[in-house]
Amino acid sequence: MGRERIYLFDTTLRDGAQTNGVDFTLSDKVVVAKMLDGLGIDYVEGGYPGANPTDTELFAEDRGMHTTFTAFGMTRRPGRSTSNDPGLATLLDAKADAVCFVAKSSDYQVRVALETTEEENLASIRDSVKAAKDKGREVLVDCEHFFDGYKANPEYALACAKAAYDSGARWVVLCDTNGGTLPHEVEEIVRAVTNVIPGDHLGIHAHNDTEQAVANSLAAVRAGARQIQGTLNGIGERCGNANLVSIIPTLKLKKEFSDRFDIHVSDDQLKALAAASRKLDDMLNRAPNRHAPYVGDSAFATKAGIHASAIMKDPATYEHVAPESVGNRRRVLVSDQGGRSNLLAELERIGMVVDRNDARIARLLEEVKEREALGYAYEGADASFELLARRVLGKVPDYFDVEQFDVNVEQRYNAIGKRVTVAMAVVKVKVDGETLISAGEGNGPVNALDVALRKDLGKYQKYIDGLKLTDYRVRILNAGTEAVTRVLIESEDERGESWTTVGVSPNIIDASFQALMDSIVFKLVRSGATA
Ligand SMILES: [Zn+2]
């Protein structure tokens, strides 16, 4: 028997755009759509033309992608004809390969939300599908509230699905709109629907309100559905949509699925998954979820010493798939629970060649343990760890010396009588025997210090011009008797490479300064700068 095809439908730009705090610009949408296209996603739903200017503009021109670029919209309004519905006209004029209609499939929703009759709703589905087909579009119908509707009135829910299918919709998508359906229910209901509509015309659209959107999507595939709708990183309103970043590797790497099904995502495209997940977070200015399955920083991280030494012998001992297959990597965490083997593994990973019996290894281990007791967290700050290791092993040049810095925060009335807080920093740096003084202004003391520090580093300036801070996190810890502040700074360079540094002190400016310094020195080491 031949392998069956599963189609992936991404709705990051439509349903994902409903997420609290997410607001895509037109250029964001184009970038995300092209990234999804590059990943091999079959359908990319760009938005709802006519609903807002961004989406209207997105569909105003042909975006030239391989994917089936899809516009979302409503079926014709009750009581109108398809030729007399401006919303439908806009949708049908959109430069899209496919149209995805949302239609009610629950008698309760038809009565209460749509305020029309069951028969008129069916007619609206039929007419809208035909109108889009006549325009030469591929048609999908999202059957909203399908599972809840089916539980209350299976005949009517099926009648809606069948109206879409019989009128020529390529896909009838069963939606768990409120997200409350459980995997065994999804499997049972989808299986029942396959008696009426062939599985290779059925899709699943799951929401994550019981944290089972991924499980529900896979349950639907087991029952016969052959299209999965979801979003990157599972973004979406409330608790989110089914997370394609988890679904794709599961379909590709888990035998139950990979033996039976093909998806359009190649092995090479799969390797770009972690970067794609990361890129979306960056664009939304969100800190990535370290514990995200497959792609998170911690997804292949091991802490306990005994696990780490086994992993070095054979990674399969504690890994369910190879991290490289999704573009992630193995991390062996340096921590007070680990020992020598962790440390050696981590040094090997960052490419530092050391003799296992080097006496300095024991010193480095001591140093790491002491610092972690003070509040440093090296597992979240690999760049600071690498610098510490290089320093103990004598491999960091003395690039420059900050002789003095001064930070000043002032609150006053500005020229238009508004109360403002301004921070200023002055930094005195010695580079090559020469003293350089720079001043910087910022919206806060750390920002001002950062600006001043990076303004003039003499001959090193060219290495740090492309450096920017992308995240700044502060935690107050109780280490011993007094509270200390831990600062984690994430930086990025002109090539998009990022790294994290840490600083710890009772004083937040000191802690930030350490992390800033580590970030700059790390960049100089990376760039191969010499003293
Ligand atoms: Zn949805």
If you measure from the C-alpha of residue 74 to the centroid of ligand 1, how many angstroms do you get, rounded to a whole number?
13
If you measure from the C-alpha of residue 128 to the centroid of ligand 1, how many angstroms do you get, rounded to a whole number?
20
If you measure from the C-alpha of residue 172 to the centroid of ligand 1, how many angstroms do you get, rounded to a whole number?
14
450-481 exposure pattern, b = at least 16 Cβ within 10 A, e = fewer: bbbbbbebeebeebbeebebebbeeeeeeeee
Burial of 530 (0-12, 13-18, 19+ CB in 10 A): exposed
Q: What is the pLDDT of residues 322-356, one digit of tens each?
A: 999 999 988 776 554 457 777 888 888 888 888 88
pLDDT at 192: 98
The vertex-207 CA angle with 203 and 212, nearest 5°, equals: 100
If you measure from the C-alpha of residue 47 to the centroid of ligand 1, how many angstroms do you get, rounded to a whole number?
12
pLDDT at 164: 98
- What stretches in the chain show pLDDT beneath 50? 336-337
Burial of 304 (0-12, 13-18, 19+ CB in 10 A): middle
Tokens 């300036």: give the residue.
461
Q: Six-digit token pair at 306? A: 């005994």
If you measure from the C-alpha of residue 284 to the centroid of ligand 1, how many angstroms do you get, rounded to a whole number?
20
pLDDT at 41: 98
Please, what sign has the CA dihedral across residues 285, 289, 290, 295?
negative
If you measure from the C-alpha of residue 361 to the centroid of ligand 1, how many angstroms do you get, rounded to a whole number?
53
If you measure from the C-alpha of residue 88 to the centroid of ligand 1, how many angstroms do you get, rounded to a whole number?
20
Number of H helices, E strands in the chain: 20, 18
If you measure from the C-alpha of residue 207 to the centroid of ligand 1, how many angstroms do you get, rounded to a whole number?
6
Q: What residues have their beta carbon closer than 5 A to ion ligand 1?
A: 15
If you measure from the C-alpha of residue 269 to the centroid of ligand 1, how many angstroms do you get, rounded to a whole number?
26
If you measure from the C-alpha of residue 7 to the centroid of ligand 1, how many angstroms do you get, rounded to a whole number?
17
If you measure from the C-alpha of residue 465 to the centroid of ligand 1, how many angstroms do you get, rounded to a whole number?
43
Tokens 């009750």: give the residue.
78
Residue of 249, 236, 197, 267 lying closest to 10 (CA atoms) = 236
Pairing status of strand 4-5 against strand 7-10: unpaired
